[in-house]
Amino acid sequence: MHGPALRRLLEAMPKAELHLHLDGSVQVATALEIARTRGVDAPRTWADMSAALVGPAHGADHAELLRAFDLPIALMQDAEALGRIAAELVAAKAADNVRYVEIRWGPALHTRRGLSLADGIEAVVDAARAAGGRLGVEVRLICTAIRSDPPEDNVRLAETAARFRDRGLSGWDLAGPEARHPDALEHRRAFEAARAGGLRITLHAGEWGGAAQVRRALALEPERIAHGPLAADDPALVDELRTRSVTLDLAPTSNVQAGIVPHLADHPLARLHRAGVPVTLSTDDLTVSDITLSEEYGRAIEHVGLTLPELWAIDRRALDVAFGERPVIDLLRSEFEAWGAGIPELAA
C-alpha cells in the first residue's frame, strides 16, 4: 500500500506516542502572540517565526538541534503560556488520532521569570489532562531533568515532580547536552528520588556517543531509553536490550535532524525491531521536527523500510511499555485491537 491510501490508513490508525517534548511543539501563531504580549525578543512575522521554531532538516549534530529550543523556552516562562501550549499540543495529537500520549518537559527551564517548579508543573499537568479529558486522549506527563543542571537541583526537581504522581505525572527523564555532560550517573541520586516517589524511569542516551552512551545509561536501570538508535551497531548491546526488555523510544526524523543518522533510509529502526529489541515510534517534537505522528509512520514505511504489520506491532507495543495505569492501557489495547481486526493489510 502506498500514496493516498496509505496516508488515509495511517491517519485513521489509533496511535500511541511516548517520546514527545512540549518545548519542541509550540505552534507558530501561539509563539507570535506570546512573544508580543510578553515583550520577548522574537520574530514578528509568521514566516520568520516558523523559520525560527523549525529545526534544520539535516543538522550537523545534536548540539545544533538543541539550539532550536532556545526560543520556545524563552516564550514558556509563565503558567498561562505553559498551560496553553500543553493544551494545544494535546489538541494537535487528538486531531492526528493519537489516543495515548506521554508529554515530557523540563520544569527547571521555565523558572527564569520567577515561576516556581511546583506552579510550572501544575500548569502543564492540569492543562494537558483537562484537554485530554475533553478530546478523548489519555495523557501522561514525564518530568525531564537537564544534564547540565547541578545534581542537587535535579534531586529537588524529582521530589517536587513526585508530588504530582496522582495527577498524571508518571515518568522521570534526563535530557540535554550529552556531549558536554555525558555521564548520566552524575544524577543517580535524582533517579533514586524519582523512583522512590513512584515515577517510572526513562532517559535520553545515544544522541551523542553512539552505542557506548546507551550502554552507560543502562546502569540507571531504565525501563525505556529515548533515542539510542546506534545501539544497533553493537551486537552485544542489542542482546542486552532484548534480554532486559529495555525499550528504545525512537524518532527517525529527529535523529536525521540531529545528525545521528545521515538519512531516513539509514535509520536502524527496522533492523532493531527485527532483532527483537523493543522499540516505539514517535515524532520527538511536533514543531521542531515539523511532523505529525501519522507522517512519521508514513516515513517509517516508505523510507525506513518497515512493513505495515511491523508498524502496527510497534504501535501496539507502545501500549505495553507506556507509563499509564494498567486498567487504562488495557482499555486502549482492546480499542486498538478492535480497530485493526478488520484490516487485512495489518495482519502479520
Q: Please spell the DSSP secondary structure of 63-124, one letter per residue.
A: HHHHGGGHHHHHH--SHHHHHHHHHHHHHHHHHTTEEEEEEEE-GGGG-TTS--HHHHHHHH
Query: Which whole number is the average pLDDT over 118-123?
Result: 98
- 3-class DSSP state of 224: strand
Q: Is the dihedral of CA 16, 280, 306, 309 positive or negative?
A: negative
The reply to whether the predicted model has a pTM over 0.85 is yes
Distance CA 30, CA 75 (A): 10
Mean pLDDT of the chain: 96
Whether the Cβ atoms of residue 315 and residue 281 lie closer than 8 Å to each other: yes
Q: Is the dihedral of CA 210, 212, 217, 223 positive or negative?
A: positive
Cell of 19: 517520546
Cell 556531549, residue? Answer: 179
Would strands 247-250 and 138-146 be described as parallel, antiparallel, or unpaired? Answer: unpaired
Residue-wise pLDDT for 245-300, tens only, equals 999 999 999 999 999 999 999 999 999 999 999 999 999 999 999 999 999 999 99
Distance CA 237, CA 69 (A): 31
Distance CA 131, CA 343 (A): 30
User: Residue 342 above 90 pLDDT?
Assistant: no
Residue-wise pLDDT for 211-230, tens only, equals 999 999 999 999 999 999 99
Cell of 247: 525499550
Nearest Cα residue to 204 out of 190, 192, 220 = 220
- 3-class DSSP state of 288: coil
Whether the Cβ atoms of residue 189 and residue 166 lie closer than 8 Å to each other: no
Whether the Cβ atoms of residue 175 and residue 147 lie closer than 8 Å to each other: yes
Query: Which whole number is the average pLDDT over 3-16?
Result: 96
Q: In the Cβ-directed half-sphere of 100, how many Cα atoms lie within 13 Å?
A: 26
- Banded model confidence at residue 60, pLDDT cuts 50, 70, 90: low
Distance CA 269, CA 282 (A): 11
Which entry of 102, 122, 178, 207 is annotated as an active-site residue? 207
Cell of 17: 506516542
207 as an active site residue: the answer is yes
- How wide is the angle at C-alpha 93 spanned by C-alphas 91 and 95, nearest 5°? 70
Whether the Cβ atoms of residue 211 and residue 234 lie closer than 8 Å to each other: yes
Type of residue numbered 47: A
